[in-house]
Chain A
Amino acid sequence: MLFHRLSRLGSRIVKELPRERHFSVSGMRVLQGSYSQYLQSSAVTQRQSRTFQQAFFSSNYNLCTLFSTISETEKINVIFVDKDGEEIHIKVPVGMNILEAAHENDIELEGACECSLACSTCHVIVMDTEYYNKLEEPTDEENDMLDLAFGLTETSRLGCQVIAKPELDGIRLAIPSATRNFAVDGFVPKPH
């Protein structure tokens, strides 16, 4: 009889064990799930499509929006001036950010952190002060990244934070020449 009781106890313990584990794991998931899942789902989305990205570390939550389904949105004219002075005229749907627009048009503007405000590689220079003033003030987070940009000017902005709107029609944006403005920690490129 003792053996019988022991074996029943044993089987009870065995049955309880997985349940406990399950509970503690799911408990943990409840606590940390939202943050981690948010990160993970964003990571999955990143892999799926570079055109949709949420800057979760920015208080403004600027979106790199998916535009493939929108075909009738108002578009504005944007002129990129590349490092060689060549002008590239493109049309940008209102609401799209400039980095996104550049990539859609095969313009060489880097976006290393994919709109997360964690780099300054999409740095553009607004060529006319009038247009610069029409932009929203940069957030602290954008300013922190701009501080590290190469060839920083008074009218510099991060391309991923400039959102197309009707008032910006005709805006001219210069892509800083890395080799011309290469000044890291006081390094000055040797003259040719």
Chain B
Amino acid sequence: MSMFLARRLVTRCFSSRPLHVCIVGSGPAGFYTADKLLKAHEGARIDIIDRLPTPYGLVRSGVAPDHPETKIAINQFSRVAQHERCAFYGNVKLGSDLSLSELRDLYHVHGLFRLYLHMVLKLTKILAFQSLGGVFSAREFVWWYNGHPDYSSLKPDLKSSDKAVILGQGNVALDVARILLRPTTELASTDIATHALSALEESSIRKVYLVGRRGPVQAALTAKELREILGIKNLHIRIKETDLSVTPADEEEMKNSRARKRIYELLSKAAAAAGTFEGDCGQRELHFVFFRQPERFLESDESKGRVSGVNLEKTILESVGSGKQIAVGTGEFEDINCSMVLKAIGYQSVPINGLPFDHKKGIVPNVRGRVVSTEPGLYVCGWLKRGPVGIIATNLYCAEETVGSISQDIEEGGVGKSEKEGSKGLMQLLEKKEVKMVDFSGWEKIDAKEKQMGIDRNKPREKLVTWEDLLAAASADS
């Protein structure tokens, strides 16, 4: 999600005037947009700002520690950040350090790539019980084990029982299930935060339930991740045979999507292989629970204020046309006991002051990336533009579209004619406000320190997990 405030390039022949661009958010959407903008416009000068002192957004804080190959995209991003016409400024927050109007005064093009901040809770009843201890959004849990400085002190309780329930069956749900169930010896050599590794080493969680309101054909996960979790050593998979029966509507869905078909086949094979083997008590189990939607959380009698289970309603599927099926409650209920619930059912972007926002879709209203507003020069890319869906690569195409719109606006003369200060103005403003920004070389110091600390522990890096440590490392003398 990027907003670009683009000042208009006079014309390509008169490219003496630089195009000052500010991108808010340094995740994949931000970097892909910067990359394409640098290539498309020789006069483009881009400043990427981010609230955190570290760049790369969810690639650093969302991708699971045991998925290092997914983080390779960072190599391309750092090349962009090191480009002579591009600069990264961390620890600069839109809203508190800078306002949208101040950015508008300084830049021609303004792009915003902001992240989600809340889990979408589609069932309003659950909202009432949100404050039960042991109930977290998957995002909080992921940020906790990935060492995000805002969540390093989450301290989830992994010792009260052997059961955890995860609401949702997408890749995020699989990620958290995998981190809970993978042998910790395998996690010890990843870049997982040490506080999380220690907690997981003492964890008593052995049974994880992935709860989805629809069936195996509709599950939101993807084949690669499913294959991976099914292949974990000594992990027993539990799927009810009855859940695997398909209806003609399901067949239709599978015909239209080879991905769906592949996932269904993987789940069927896993169910068949598991058979009726009961196994011993201490073993690790992953249960796929289909056709159940959460009704409410159950509070523990012994420890008030803590969750002790989830009450689920059985569902059936109903066609709503165009091949889509939705879950409908049947009025039958059952409980699963647990001491931790992780909600992995989607994200919602948070509105930004000064920008229009569509609360229903969770996006900034836009047309091909151009923000619908009276002010020109504002653009979005990424989740703020499309909603919180897609993979890292999705932003590649999203960026292409947004940069296409920017280029078009520049050609047609609709964007910016006046003098803008760009970076120089930003530096002056930040200095005046005494904002301690972290530039790319500051990030490189953090990076080097983390890698150095990682060597001692046989990990690719040992993340710095507090704001103080991050800012101290960034400003240390090399």
Contact = CB atoms under 8 A, between A and B. Distances in A.
Interface of A: 25, 28-29, 31-33, 35-36, 39-40, 43, 46-47, 50, 55-57, 110, 112-114, 116-121, 140-141, 143-145, 147-148, 150, 178-179, 182, 184-185, 187, 189-190
A142 to B, nearest CB: 10
Interface in B382-414: 386, 389-394, 396-397, 400-401, 404
Interface of B: 67-70, 72-73, 75-76, 185, 188-189, 222-224, 227, 258-259, 262, 367-368, 386, 389-394, 396-397, 400-401, 404, 456, 458-460
A17 B237 CA distance: 45
Contacts of A28: 458
Nearest to B389: A185
A182 B397 contact: yes
A187 B401 CA distance: 13
B189 A144 contact: no
Contact of A47 (B75, B189, B386): B75
Q: Which 9 A-B pairs have the closest CB atoms?
A: A147-B259, A178-B397, A116-B69, A144-B224, A144-B223, A118-B69, A36-B189, A112-B73, A32-B189
Given A43-B460, A179-B401, A185-B390, 16 more contacts: A33-B458, A36-B459, A36-B460, A47-B75, A113-B73, A114-B75, A118-B70, A119-B73, A119-B391, A143-B262, A144-B224, A150-B397, A178-B397, A179-B397, A184-B389, A190-B367
Contacts, number: 99
Contact of A116 (B72, B259, B386, B400): B72
A39 B71 CA distance: 12
Given A144-B224, A179-B404, A112 B392 contact: yes
Given A57-B69, A147-B258, A150-B397, A184 B386 contact: yes
Contact of A145 (B76, B224, B400): B224
Contacts of A40: 460
A147 B73 contact: no
B69 A141 contact: no
B70 A113 contact: yes
Given A116-B69, A118-B72, A119-B73, A148 B397 contact: no
A42 B367 CA distance: 42
Contact of A114 (B72, B223, B262, B390): B72
A145 B67 CA distance: 15
B262 A147 contact: yes
A46 B396 CA distance: 21
Q: Which of B69, B189, B368, B460 has the most CB of A within 10 A?
A: B69
A119 B70 CA distance: 8
A184 B368 contact: no
A184 B390 contact: yes
A119 to B, nearest CB: 5
B222 A148 contact: yes
Nearest to B70: A118
B223 A189 contact: no
A185 to B, nearest CB: 5
Contacts of A187: 386
Contacts of B460: 36, 39-40, 43
B72 A178 contact: no
A121 B76 CA distance: 13
B367 A144 contact: no
A39 B458 CA distance: 11
A147 B259 CA distance: 5
Contact of B397 (A31, A119, A184): A184
A190 B368 contact: yes
Contacts of A55: 69
A162 B404 CA distance: 30
A16 B450 CA distance: 29
Contacts of A46: 72, 75
B75 A147 contact: no
A121 B393 contact: yes
Contacts of B390: 184-185
Most buried by B among A31, A46, A118, A148: A118
19 contacts: A36-B189, A46-B72, A50-B75, A56-B69, A117-B69, A119-B70, A140-B227, A141-B224, A143-B223, A144-B222, A144-B223, A144-B262, A147-B262, A150-B397, A178-B400, A179-B397, A179-B404, A182-B397, A185-B389
A28 B76 CA distance: 33
Best-surrounded residue of A25, A116, A143, A184 (most CB of chain B within 10 A): A184
B336 to A, nearest CB: 29
Contact of B72 (A113, A140, A141, A145): A113
Contacts of A29: 458
Contacts of B259: 147-148
A179 B400 contact: yes
Contacts of A182: 397, 401
Contacts of B189: 32, 35-36, 39
A113 B59 CA distance: 12
Contact of A189 (B76, B185, B401): B401
